[in-house]
Amino acid sequence: MDEPGAKDRALKVLIVDDHALFRRGLQMVLRQEPDIEVVGEAADGVEAVAMAQELDPDVVLMDVRMPKRSGIEATREIRELVPRAKVLMLTISDDETDLYESIRAGAAGYLLKEISIDEVADAVRSVWAGHSRISPAMASKLITEFAAMSKREQEQVRLPAPRLTEREMEVLRLVAKGLNNRDIAKELFISGNTVKNHVRNILEKLHLHSRMEAVVYAVREKLLEIR
């Protein structure tokens, strides 16, 4: 997203990485680009936030794991303090948690350091233009997670509150009171195997894995009230 006059000047880039050699390599490459100006470098998240406020960069190249304050924490703060700045994560971390947290923090892209260093300049221009840049390996993880989330949401819509039979509700109420299968069988005058089958059916209908999960779900969905 260009601001007035942005096309008439070089893009201002702040490099944030705790490895001095890597910062120096990025500087050398980016300074060969006529439309990019490296305005500063920081060695940790604390420095990054301070320098972002001072230098007002267009794009911040941000490492994820650094001392004092992580790149994710710094990204979140920079996005609040200097909202016009785009943050592009450049990291060795292929941990999907780092990816998700970076995106939640407001990062415009997530690239692994295995990419060609010559691609960094193009990525800087791309995120400033409003595009997202994510390494292919990480993009596939995002797609997989979003597909799983979508499936879970669809299942919740399709089955908001599975219908239990009257007998299953009786069994669930007794489970909620802490009774075991043998005591439930005595209470309802049925066999232990029948109770076991009812419990299994309850868990299958609710898509749960344990008796305790079934009770918590039932209370949350107001299927029963524990007194």
Buried b (16+ CB within 10 A) or exposed e, 173-187: bbbbeebebeebbee
Q: What is the pLDDT of residues 50-68, one digit of tens each?
A: 999 999 999 999 999 898 8
- Considering only CA atoms, which of 59, 125, 65, 51 is closest in space to residue 94? 65
Class of domain 6-146: alpha beta
Q: What is the pLDDT of residues 118-140, one digit of tens each?
A: 788 989 998 898 887 887 777 77
For residues 175 and 121, what is the distance between their CA atoms, to the nearest angstrom?
Answer: 62
Tell me whether strands 133-134 and 109-112 are parallel, antiparallel or unpaired. Answer: parallel
- Domain borders along the chain are 6-146, 166-220
Give residue 157's pLDDT. Answer: 47
Place of tokens 């691609």: 119
Give residue 116's pLDDT. Answer: 81
Enter the pTM of the model.
0.60
Question: Which band of pLDDT confidence, cut at 50, 70 and 90, is reported for residue 100?
Answer: confident
Distance between start and end Cα atoms, the chain: 58
In this structure, whether the domain defined by 166-220 belongs to CATH 1.10.10.10 is answered with: yes
For residues 66 and 16, what is the distance between their CA atoms, to the nearest angstrom?
Answer: 9
DSSP code of residue 3? P
Handedness of CA 52, 53, 55, 57 (dihedral sign): positive
Question: Which band of pLDDT confidence, cut at 50, 70 and 90, is reported for residue 4?
Answer: very low
Instruction: Output the CA–CA distances (angstroms, integers) from residue 205 to 42, 151, 154, 163, in the order listed.
Output: 54, 17, 16, 8
